[in-house]
Structure 1
Amino acid sequence: MTQFVPVIESLLDTDLYKFTMMQEILHHQPETQSEYAFKCRNRPATPLSSFKDEIEAQLDHLCQLRFADDELAYLGSLRFIKSDFVDFLRLFQLQRRFITVSVAAGRPDDLDIRVKGPMLHCMLFEIYLLAIVNEVYFRQFPQAPALATGRARLAAKVAQLQQLGDQPLHRFPFVFFDFGTRRRYSRTWHEEMVQTLARDVGHFMRGTSNVLLAKRHGLTPIGTMAHEYLQAFQCFGSRLRDFQKNALEHWVREYRGDLGIALTDVVGTDAFLRDFDLYFCKLFDGVRHDSGDPFEWGEKIIAHYQKMKIDPSTKQLVFSDGLNLERAIALYRRFADRARTGFGIGTDLSNDCGQEPLQIVMKLVSCNGQPVAKVSDTPGKGMCEDENFLNYLCDVFKIERQ
């Protein structure tokens, strides 16, 4: 019998924005009910359904974990995390009854994974689940050759970065962050990769989205908001047309100047910018790209700031969609004389070990019994389970259906 090896050993082993979104929900919408759905966008070499039992066992273990005192102390040391939220987490434990795993109806190779229940008790499942599915899947391959490949490729990336030198090539320096938790090859490889980059190119690598790794290695935890936060406001009582403004307004009231990077593509960048008026342009430090052509997006954002009579060099453009170092450096060269830039690099760092990565996501599909939608700037990245609601949303925001 194969020995059980946990994928997740600490509830801090997740991305910072799960906590920042969770805190806002606790303070303003604690009664919210939610449903999340898992999706794999590519075809794995081995059907995911064959790993169902191991994934179930990993979830059983996950739901036994609690936050340790030193972990809560670390969260409490972050100036934007409030003491009542830490007290809530002190009592918190993931509930196994809220997550189900089954073979997808009519698709015997696929898994149907659902998380359904109070949003405060469901939203943390996402990153843990995605990390579990990835690691369970990649354990089928010989580990020594994979790690050797990963180390060789990482060494080449370090050398590429070191060639950039110590002085900025443009007005603002090149900086990037690890965004690799959800699609990492394994927990141990993720930590080794982060340690290596922090040690060898720490003047470029300015932090990680993973809270546990930030705590362990003295790095800056990085993250603000994700799609689920803005999607939830599609059901929070305001007119649908005003959901983005409502979400951004709540964020500003909660964090009062901290965590000032807004996500732009929940209903597409054009629709976002129609809501991102002078008020929000001044209140937020910058914006994050997560779909569509990043070069076009960057030009569009800079033009929008200029239209609002705001100097783009006072704002930050954060790119985080499927980046590798080559693309990040090219974007840096395009924009770093006009705006501050930052690059969240995920899979290309945490899962570049020789096997094709899984393109898996877990997205919010309903809130308070009503459908919600993400309409991406990239065809295929959107997600909605109700065609009527999607049509209505697109009509309200003047979006062409993909």
Structure 2
Amino acid sequence: MIITSLLDTDLYKFTMMQVVLHQYPAAEVEYRFRCRTPGIDLVPIIPALKEELAHLCSLRFSDAELAYLRGMRFIDSDFVDFLALFHLNEKYVSIAPSAAHPGEIELVIRGPWLHTILFEVPLLAIINELYFRHAYPRHDLAEARARLDAKIALLRDTPGFDKVRIADYGTRRRFSGAWHEQALGIMREGWGGQLAGTSNVLFAMRQGMTPIGSMAHEYLQAFQSLGPRLRDSQVAALEAWAREYRGDLGIALSDVYGLDAFLRDFDMYFCKLFDGARHDSGDPFTWGDRVLAHYGKNRVDPRTKTLVFSDSLDIPKVMELYRHFEGRCLLSFGVGTNLTNDTGPDPINIVIKMTRCNGQPVAKLSDSPGKSMCDDPEYLGYLRRVFDLPAA
């Protein structure tokens, strides 16, 4: 089977799940799947996908996995005790061919946030791997190895880039789990200390690497329902995070409502409290320049803060960004699909996004066209008005 461990997911799923357990255990949510790549027929993989889902829901955390999680400084013992009893339940997931769009699948996850939050990443990894097995059943990974070797050499051997640190963010859209783990070993051997770690907790444990992650879009989106009022939802989410982690895991995600709204809410208190911010949509150079200027206006030395770039990066783009921001701040780069699914065939762009929390719509207002996902256009318009954002 494709997923053999519940640790085969991104770290930020666990860090968000701990907040849910401690602060919002009764929240009810809905997630929906979307393939953003046109012309992809996923219907043939549905029978195998259902088999993989059943297997995923049979998995439990092993004692060794729980001990590994317990050793992380920001993971509380009561959360690990909860995970010792935890398993995913397939009653929360429905999968069927789309009636409206031939070739597409309707995948909906609906249930308690605490019991559904771990579905997203493994399901995306499963769908991706099943698709490539079906579409390219005899694909040779020699091309993947050659491309990865070229990327490693480009960064390692170009003068002036020896301090660049890259993390693997490629779990959800990888070509396969086997290639993902093999690629990490190749990167570790080729880059050494330039490979900062991986978002994948299982492979971090197996390969003695640093697991990396903090929060994702769903966390801030949920506060559109959980917060005191809609306009204060971003502030409420950041406050709740600070209460949970007390200064640890201090990278704030900046693009749930766009950069303008983020900077309005990210005042001097948050500038000093959080270690930095993560970019995931819009022009990264403009974003970084504006965030650094914002730190200066709030009497914070930008050189003490970290900018994390993670939007559709490849190695040349990483090098451009490093060249532009070097010496002005601390830098980190999360590279996903380009490291784990650059094997020859074009990767597909698939997502599972939270669309409702406690019965009401939630949404992301992205700085990049096409990244927003909401089933209620009226709510999107209302959200834009509340955050004083222009119409799409």
Question: Shared topology, TM-score over 0.5?
Answer: yes
Q: Distance in 1 between matches of 2:161 and 2:31?
A: 42
Whether the 8 Å CA contact 1:22–1:120 is kept in 2: the answer is yes
Alignment correspondent of 1:35: 30
Confirm or deny: 8 A CA contact 2:155 2:161 kept in the other structure. Answer: no
Query: Is 1:311 the equivalent of 2:301?
Result: yes
1:19 aligns with 2:14: yes
Q: Which runs of 4+ in 1 moved over 3 A?
A: 141-146
1:55 alignment partner in structure 2? 49
Distance 2:181 2:175 in 1: 11
Q: Does 1:66 align with 2:56?
A: no
> How far apart in 2 are the matches of 1:146 and 1:291?
33
Q: Helix, strand or coil for the counterpart of 1:52?
A: helix
Instruction: Give the match for residue 108 of structure 2.
Output: 114
| Corresponding position of 2:357 | 367
| Consecutive unaligned residues in structure 2, runs of 5 or more | none
1:207–1:214 contact (8 Å) kept in structure 2: yes
Structure 1: gaps (5+ residues): 1-5
For 1:148 and 1:184, locate their aligned partners in 2 and report how far apart those are by CA, in whole Å: 16
CA deviations on 1:235-272 (whole Å, 9 max, x unpaired) are: 01411000011000010110011100000000101101
**8 A contact 1:102–1:112 mirrored in 2:** yes
Q: How much does 1:140 deviate?
A: 2.3
CA contact (8 A) 1:30 1:120 kept: yes
**Pair 1:395 & 2:385 matched:** yes
Alpha-carbon distance in structure 1 between the residues aligned to 2:125 and 2:200? 12
RMSD: 1.1
Query: Does residue 5 of structure 2 align to residue 10 of structure 1?
Result: yes
User: Which residue in 2 is equivalent to 1:250?
Assistant: 240
- Which of the numbers 167, 189, 198 marks the counterpart of 2:188? 198
Aligned positions of 1:261-340 closer than 5 A: 261-340=251-330
Does the 8 Å CA contact 1:146/1:354 hold for their aligned counterparts? no
Alpha-carbon shift at residue 202 of structure 1 (Å) = 1.7
Alignment of 1:208-223 (within 5 A): 208-223=198-213
Residue equivalent to 1:154:
148
- Superposition deviation, residue 168 in structure 1: 5.5
Distance 1:302 1:105 in 2: 47
Residue by residue over 1:58-101, the C-alpha shift from the partner in whole angstroms, topping out at 9 and shown as x without a partner, is 10110100000000000000000000000110000100100010
- For residues 76 and 272 of structure 2, the distance between their equivalents in structure 1, rounded to whole angstroms, comes to 24
Q: Supply the AA of the counterpart residue of 2:189.
A: R
Closer, same or farther: CA 254–305 of 1 in aligned 2, 3 Å: same
Q: Does structure 1 retain, via aligned residues, the 8 Å contact 2:36–2:350? A: yes
TM-score after normalising by structure 1? 0.96
Give percent identity, aligned residues only: 55
Report if aligned partners of 1:21, 1:229 keep a CA contact under 8 Å in 2: yes
Taking structure 2 as the reference length, what is the TM-score of the superposition?
A: 0.98
Distance 1:36 1:142, change over 3 A: closer
Q: How many residues align?
A: 392
Deviation sequence 1:323-373 (CA, Å, 0-9, x none): 000001100000011011110000000000011111000000000011101
Partners of 1:177 and 1:207 within 8 A in 2: yes
